[in-house]
Amino acid sequence: MESNDRMEQLLKQMYAEERDISEIIDEEWKKFEARHFSPNRSWGWMQIAATIVGVLMLSGIAYAAIHIVSHGEEDQKSPAQETQVITQSQQAIEQPAESSDSIPQTRIFENVPLDEMVNELALYYNKVADVQNQQAHELRLYYKWEQKDELTSVVDDLNHFEHVSLVIEEDKLIVKP
């Protein structure tokens, strides 16, 4: 019985001290606000350093992105630029060599239509280009042309490409269908 009496006494004491739960929550919230949201809170040196590092990282990333994009645009040539390059190379070929000891050059045709490539080759080797294949303008090739090579070896190399049929007849370089 004594234990029941003791238990009853403890329960009465506990209920007497009980406060409303909302009062307790309000009190704890005020303590939390005072610690974390005080209006006169100043920035510590760690927060300032972290902010500076963040700004520097963002500006570095922005600079890198701009640099990558600007170099990517330089690498891509428009068809007008390709035509300009071809025209410049044709002008260089048309100009007579200053001496017979001139060093043969290498010309790289990259994504150039077959008919333009044949025109340039014919011009260099003093031939007339005769393009009989109507799809020659649509067919684009990558070819590394060594000017020291004979026209017959260049034609043999190009004939290894699919859909390409070149023939040399007298003073003509012919693209057959």
Same domain, yes or no: 89 and 171 = yes
Same domain, 86 and 59: no
Pair (89, 165) in one structural domain: yes
Going edge to edge, which strands form the sheet with 128-131?
A: 128-131, 172-175, 166-169
- What pLDDT is recorded for position 83? 52
Query: Measuring CA to CA, how many Å separate 44 from each of 41, 47, 56, 121?
Result: 9, 5, 19, 72
Q: At which of 54, 75, 96 does a domain end?
A: 75
> Do the beta carbons of residue 137 and residue 113 sit within 8 Å?
yes
The span from the CA of 177 to the CA of 174, in Å, is 10
Select from 18, 53, 75 the last residue of a domain: 75
Which residues have CB under 8 Å from 115's CB, separation 6+?
A: 129, 131, 136, 137, 175
**Dist CA 92 CA 13 (whole Å):** 108
Tens-level pLDDT at each residue, the chain (177 residues): 677 887 887 777 767 666 667 777 888 888 888 877 766 666 778 888 999 999 999 999 998 988 888 876 655 555 555 555 555 555 555 554 444 456 778 888 888 888 888 899 899 899 998 888 888 888 888 889 888 989 999 889 888 888 888 899 888 888 887
Q: Please tell me whether residues 51 and 100 are part of one structural domain.
A: no
pTM assigned to the model: 0.43
Asked if residue 147 and residue 92 are part of one domain, the reply reads yes
What pLDDT is stored for residue 58 in this prediction? 93
Query: 126: domain CATH number?
Result: 3.55.50.30
Q: In whole angstroms, what is the distance from residue 151 CA to residue 164 CA?
A: 15
Task: Give the structural domain span for 139.
Answer: 79-175
Could you tell me if 48 and 109 lie in one domain?
no
Q: Residue 40's pLDDT is what? A: 63
Which pLDDT value is given to residue 100? 45
Residue 88: per-residue pLDDT:
52
Q: Are residues 41 and 96 in the same domain?
A: no
Same-domain check for residues 128 and 141:
yes
Same domain, 50 and 115: no
If asked whether residues 51 and 123 sit together in one domain, one would say no
Q: Are 97 and 147 in contact (CB under 8 A)?
A: no
